[in-house]
Amino acid sequence: MRSATTQSSRSDVIGDTDSLCGTAESIVSAFRLAGIAHAFDAGTEIYRQDEAARYFYVVLAGCVRTVRYIADGRRHVGGFYIAGDIFGVEACNEHYCDAEAITQSQIMMAPRRRIIELARQDAYLSTDLWSLTVAALSEVRRLNFLLARNTAEERLVGFLGDLAARSGDGCNLDLPMTRRDIGDYLGLAIETVSRSFAELERKGRRQVEGGRGFGDAALLIDHGDTMSGHSARTYARFAQLANCRAV
């Protein structure tokens, strides 16, 4: 059952869009004009699978996951969204997945119809929305490559590298999602995810204690560059994986 949410005032909404500094200005302006911010408690459903897609959503604070439940009861996590990420943009008129707040989150909701109307009047907004769609398709392709032939440990490192690059934290990586969430995203059992974390922690500590320095943690994973498209320096962040909070 969907929990009650708190609606912010219009003035609060405009101030909260500071978290969208990496988003195209035309999209930020459209959300400022048409959007209203809502607070969602951890575990709250934002929208449901097969529900009419009436809004576009952007994360102002917190973390959201999209989940699709299969007929046999299994679930697949489609993605994780952190501050600045836009979600709920569908190719059809219904949502393909459920969306759930992992942590206490502030989400701005803008009517889909209104954003489309604004895009018809603004060539920059139309182009930026197209670019957003292309980026989403590229992410699906990247994920397919990640899952296709890589080991469990390589999948985990690719996921962590992407998350670290998006969060912009140069050292520590805080994981609000659970290990079950990560497993359901990467197609791995929770036990496999736990073993992979333990192995990454062991290798990271050995690198640091061996005196090779924080940056040399990149050498722990072979072919890290080609696996997720990030530079080797991204993987230096994982020498401190013991600080992550995924359970």
Asked, for residue 130, whether it belongs to a domain, the answer is: yes
Q: Say which residue, 217 or 38, is predicted with more confidence.
A: 38
233: Cβ contacts below 8 Å, ≥ 6 apart: 215, 218
Under the banding of pLDDT at 50, 70 and 90, the label for residue 156 is confident
Give yes or no: residues 18 and 129 share one domain: yes
| Mean pLDDT, residues 147-174 taken together | 76
What letter does residue 130 receive in the DSSP assignment?
Answer: H
Q: Provide the greatest CA pair distance for the chain.
A: 60
Domain boundary among 95, 111, 136: 136
**Order of strands across the sheet with 86-87?**
6-7, 36-40, 105-111, 55-61, 86-87
User: Do 176 and 82 share a structural domain?
Assistant: no
Cβ(105)–Cβ(40) below 8 Å? yes
The interaxial angle of helices 152-167 and 123-149, nearest 10 deg, is 160
Strands of 70-222 (E only): list them: 75-82, 86-87, 98-101, 105-111
d(CA 76, CA 68): 5
Tell me, what CATH number does 228's domain have?
A: 1.10.10.10
Q: Per mean pLDDT, which range of 34-38, 94-98, 108-112, 232-236 is the poorest?
A: 232-236
CA distance 78 to 66: 5
131 lies in the same domain as 21: yes
Tokens 């994973």 -> residue? 221
pLDDT at 168: 65
- Are 37 and 81 in a shared domain? yes
C-alpha 167, offset from chain centre = 9
- On whether both 132 and 206 belong to a single domain, the answer is no
Does residue 168 share a domain with residue 130? Answer: no
Length of the chain as a residue count: 247
User: 202 and 158, same structural domain?
Assistant: yes
* Top-ranked range on mean pLDDT: pick from 95-99, 127-131, 173-177, 228-232: 95-99
Q: Which of 136, 158, 182 is the last residue of a domain?
A: 136
Handedness of CA 160, 162, 165, 168 (dihedral sign): negative
Q: Has residue 142 been placed in a domain?
A: no
119-148 tens-digit pLDDT:
999 998 888 888 888 887 777 787 777 777
Task: Output the average pLDDT for the chain.
Answer: 75
pLDDT at 106: 95
Note whether residue 144 is domain-resident. no
Does residue 213 share a domain with residue 121?
Answer: no
Query: Do 203 and 123 fall into the same domain?
Result: no
Q: In terms of residue numbers, what domain contains 103?
A: 6-136
**Same domain? 48 vs 114:** yes
Domain count of the fold of the chain? 2
CATH number at residue 113: 2.60.120.10
